[in-house]
């Protein structure tokens, strides 16, 4: 009985081993030529995860050979096509360190940027990846001024800059929403002090004036007149820059109200 069980187990093990797929056998084997051909077959068929695993395995066998830059580039490209942008960015960064003069170098440089761009976060969240991406894009444009991807890079920069501007405005506007109007005015003014070209400049100047008005209005009567003078300054700053703004009617109303009182 025991012998028959043992024999059955041996047969089962043999069956399991014989059931390994061609892909698994390739992945575990050391036939560089077969792996190379199969990796490109899977890549061309759109089976990018399998292609990536084969290229990764193959990179050990082609290290130091004339095929190594091709294998490393397509390893990264397979991960990129599989939408594993974090791994792909690492692949392309390593590729560029090892093969800066490869025919694939410019493409790898751009794809690395695209990976960084796709890994950035919404403006409400941490913008550290945004700063890293902007630096990388500017370096790329400096090194490849005639790149076919330059318009795409400009679009990325435009989007990323908008996120930073929005983040700066939102952080300052938070004080206004919290009804800490003195802190709001200081924070909003600091946004423009740091970046006078902030894309939300109109909103910033509007809420600066609103904050100064509300701070004065909530002050003790003895301090209101002096503090409304600050509102006057903010009001004239706003209407001087944005005379046709949709916000002007609200500020005009408040200005008239203060003038009638004082």
Confidence class of residue 200 from pLDDT cuts 50, 70 and 90? Answer: very high
Task: Kindly report the pTM of this predicted structure.
Answer: 0.82
pLDDT of res. 19? 56
pLDDT at 146 over 60: yes
pLDDT tens string 174-196: 999 999 999 999 999 999 999 99
Task: Single out the residue of 77, 85, 88, 84 nearest to residue 42, CA to CA.
Answer: 77
pLDDT tens string 208-235: 999 999 999 999 999 999 999 999 999 9
Range name among 9-13, 129-133, 229-233, 257-261 with the lowest pLDDT average: 9-13
Residue 161 or 30, more confident: 161
What is the mean predicted confidence (pLDDT) over 30-41? 94
pLDDT of res. 63? 92
pLDDT of res. 16? 41
Confidence class of residue 102 from pLDDT cuts 50, 70 and 90? Answer: very high
pLDDT at 11 over 70: no
pLDDT of res. 54? 96
Chain mean pLDDT for the chain: 92
Residue 3 or 180, more confident: 180
What is the mean predicted confidence (pLDDT) over 235-239? 97
Quick one: tokens of 111?
């794809």
Percentage of the residues of the chain whose pLDDT score is greater than 90 = 87
pLDDT at 1 over 70: no
Percentage of the residues of the chain whose pLDDT score is greater than 70 = 93
What is the mean predicted confidence (pLDDT) over 112-133? 95
What is the mean predicted confidence (pLDDT) over 74-100? 97
pLDDT at 105 over 60: yes
């Amino acid at each position: 009985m025991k012998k028959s069980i043992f024999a059955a187990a041996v047969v089962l093990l043999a069956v399991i081993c014989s059931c390994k797929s061609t892909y698994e056998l390739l992945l575990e084997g050391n036939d560089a030529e077969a792996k190379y051909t199969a990796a490109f077959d899977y890549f061309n068929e759109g089976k990018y995860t399998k292609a990536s695993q084969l290229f990764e395995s193959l990179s050990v066998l082609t290290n130091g050979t004339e095929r190594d830059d091709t294998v490393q580039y397509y390893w990264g490209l397979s991960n990129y096509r599989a939408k594993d942008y974090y791994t792909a960015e690492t692949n392309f960064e390593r590729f560029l360190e090892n093969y800066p003069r490869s025919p694939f170098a410019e493409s790898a440089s751009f794809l690395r940027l695209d990976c960084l761009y796709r890994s950035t976060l919404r403006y409400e969240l941490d913008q550290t990846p945004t700063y890293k991406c902007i630096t990388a894009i500017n370096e790329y444009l400096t090194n490849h001024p005639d790149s076919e991807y330059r318009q795409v890079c400009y679009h990325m920069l435009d989007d990323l800059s908008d996120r930073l501007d929005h983040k700066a405005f939102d952080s300052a506007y938070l004080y206004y929403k919290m009804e800490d109007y003195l802190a709001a005015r200081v924070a909003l003014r600091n946004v423009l002090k740091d970046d006078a070209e902030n894309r939300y400049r109109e909103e910033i100047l509007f809420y600066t004036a609103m904050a100064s008005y509300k701070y004065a209005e909530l002050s003790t009567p003895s301090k209101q007149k002096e503090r409304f003078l600050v509102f006057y300054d903010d009001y004239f700053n706003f209407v001087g820059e944005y005379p046709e703004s949709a916000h002007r009617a609200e500020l005009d109303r408040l200005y008239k109200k203060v003038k009638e009182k004082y």
